[in-house]
Homo-oligomer: A and B are copies of this chain.
């Protein structure tokens, strides 16, 4: 349905980089055991059903966790920004796929090494549990959004979240309208219309489609409920 090419390996154009470095609480020791990898925009980092050999942390750029239906319908369950861990699974196989929203750099740690380390060091075990249960909490918030909120409420929540996660008043969206739509359970047309309407009302300022600022947070928060 959404013709997102999983082509990879275009030469990475190095552009503006927002979302650079806020670390989430993480197992510091793990990072020493990791390797850095680069992925081009839309490149797949791992696929649903593949063996969960590694766990990952975003260094720069953005990553999306994705579930697909056979007919192409897509749901993005989370966007991962620099400092976020992703790909931690209970199962031996990945239950969803992850790919690069923009050109990005990730830290890759062997799952076995991580688990062995968790076994020995309570600190690492606690950090992994904290990351996972925080993600679960976010997932539950997102379910409320997907199950019960209107289009404008979804967009408001999304924009406020992106504002919170970025630093500074200016938000640079790393993802396309397709990605936003598939994250919020809407169509690109509805996303576009709603954002345009918010801009028309003066609640947000637009500078092109990927760059915006929040002018009236109160109005948005009212919708976020």
Instruction: Count this chain's copies in the assembly.
Output: 2
Question: Given the known A-B contacts A75-B144, A118-B122, A148-B185, are A137 and B69 also in contact in the complex, defined by CB atoms under 8 Å?
Answer: no
| Nearest B residue (CB) for A78 | B140
- Contact (Cβ within 8 A) A67 B141: yes
Residues on B with C-beta less than 8 A from A69 are 144, 148-149, 225
| Nearest B residue (CB) for A139 | B139
Judged by a CB distance under 8 angstroms, whether A128 is at the interface is yes
Q: Which of A38-46, A84-92, A168-176 contacts B (4 or more CB under 8 A)?
A: A84-92
- Contact (Cβ within 8 A) A140 B225: no
Which one of B128, B143, B148 contacts A143 once the chains associate, using CB atoms below 8 Å? B143
Interface of A is mostly: helix
The size of the chain A interface, using a CB distance under 8 A, is 46
**A65-90 contact mask (Cβ, 8 Å, vs B): 1 or 0:** 10101110111010000000000111
Judged by a CB distance under 8 angstroms, whether A132 is at the interface is yes
- Contact (Cβ within 8 A) B143 A142: yes
Judged by a CB distance under 8 angstroms, whether A31 is at the interface is no
What would 10 more interface pairs be, CB under 8 Å, given A69-B149, A90-B132? Answer: A73-B149, A74-B148, A77-B140, A96-B140, A118-B126, A125-B126, A132-B132, A132-B136, A139-B143, A143-B146
Q: Which A residues fall within an 8 A CB radius of B?
A: 65, 67, 69-71, 73-75, 77, 88-91, 95-96, 115, 118-120, 122, 125-126, 128-137, 139-144, 146-149, 182, 184-185, 225
| Interface pairs A-B: 6 shortest CB-CB | A147-B185, A139-B139, A146-B146, A90-B133, A125-B125, A119-B122
